[in-house]
Amino acid sequence: MEELYTLEKEVGRGSYGVVFEGHIAKTGQRVAVKRLSCKNAECIELYLQELWAMRATAQNHANIIVLHSCLLQTGRRSLKPLKKGKLPLHLVESVLKGTVVGTLPHGQETGSRSNSGRRAESESRLQDRTNTLPSNASTPQKPPNRPRKRSSWREDEQPLSYSALWLVMEYCDGGDLNHYLLSRPPDAQRNHDVVQQLSSAVAFLHHLGIIHRDLKPDNVLVSIKPNGPVFKVADFGLSKMSEGMLDGDMTMKHFSSTCGSDFYMAPEVWGGLPYSAQADIFSLGVMFWAVLERITFLEEGTTQEQLGAYVCKGRRLMPLGEALWENADLQLCIPIKSKRATPLPPPPGPATCALLLHMLASDPDWRPPADQLESDIRAALREDSC
């Protein structure tokens, strides 16, 4: 690793990986390096989905985190760069078989057949196990406890033993959105920049057929630039890529895996219903409301303040999606705060409030699609500033 990148310090740690601040050895450019240990099939699947989605964005949008390269660790000190558009067959087979596939001492794979035979079978099985549903699919009564995802991968490289994937990404010196906004005095223009930039990012992702499925302040990173902060969508581990928009409309493509973070999940996801890209719009609505009004909460068992809107049910803070799933006729009140202290930003104007209500509609068909949302945000902010 040190021949390619120098790791300076750990800057983040989650359930699936560790993130380091580092530098490219030849140029000294600062980067973020995420180490993802390939110890079980579920984790490998998340890593491949993140890699595939980040490759698809191809550094084409200022508000999407940039992936510089990906390396496969094949030994204690051995790294192999992955070619663009390629994935090791071992990783794909591990996802399909539900167990990590290794290499025997003589290079023969456990339970292996010829590479061409395995590849043809892998492609067939992956197509059968995609996680899309037709619009008339049966409705499950309860959401599963854990997200399960299936995607299609192809690779024609020889099998390798491995222990980890290393994703080398641009380094964002402003931290995540929670840290950046809550460590500074409220600023209305900065808040407007957040909603405009993120609506543009999600419109770009949906245009590519990528549903993020876990939009929240923790997954938005901030890069400090001379002209102001740039807000970037990151962490595509739960994302889902569609092979193509049905009739050009992402709202018609449905998924079934219940995944995301409680306080930002849409009602239909809470209910275990088939859902579409419009679930991302609901998550954005929760974030935008919280950002514009500086609404925060403490999740049970934590001490870290987070941005997010919610419904009070007695002493319990109930996620908006859960509350709307239980009562689709629930009337949300925007702005939520009737008593406002002077340090807080001004409340959203009437046009912005109306747009937030559309984004947070219990019926996903009432929410604006991402390409329309981007222009609606600009129009609402412009109207409220007059």
- Answer yes or no: is pLDDT of 103 > 90: no
**pLDDT, tens digit, 9 for 90 and up, residues 107-130:** 333 333 334 344 333 333 323 233
Q: Are 253 and 246 in contact (CB under 8 A)?
A: yes
At residue 2's C-alpha, the angle toward residues 46 and 61, to 5°, is 45
Q: Are 146 and 79 in contact (CB under 8 A)?
A: no
- Provide the angle, in degrees to the nearest 10, between the axes of the packed helices 188-207 and 278-293: 170
* Measured distance CA(56)–CA(209) in Å, rounded: 10
Q: Are 10 and 25 in contact (CB under 8 A)?
A: no
- Answer yes or no: is pLDDT of 70 > 80: yes
Cis peptide before 368 (omega within 30 of 0): no
* Measured distance CA(292)–CA(80) in Å, rounded: 45
CA-wise closest residue to 177 among 137, 234, 139, 227 = 234
* Measured distance CA(340)–CA(318) in Å, rounded: 22
Q: Report pTM.
A: 0.80
- Percentage of the chain modeled with pLDDT above 90: 46
The residues annotated with a catalytic role in the active site are: 214
pLDDT score, position 377: 97
Q: Which residues pair with 268 in a beta bridge?
A: none
pLDDT score, position 210: 92
Lowest mean pLDDT among 50-64, 104-118, 247-261, 295-309: 104-118
- Answer yes or no: is pLDDT of 319 > 90: yes
| Neighbour tally for 308: CB within 10 Å | 24
Going along the chain from its start, the domains and CATH numbers come out as 5-103+126-170 (3.30.200.20), 177-385 (1.10.510.10)
Lowest mean pLDDT among 25-39, 101-115, 251-265: 101-115
pLDDT score, position 125: 30
pLDDT-based confidence at 11, cuts 50/70/90? confident
**pLDDT, tens digit, 9 for 90 and up, residues 135-161:** 344 434 444 444 444 333 333 444 445
pLDDT score, position 111: 35
- 78-82, 156-160, 260-264 — most confident range: 260-264
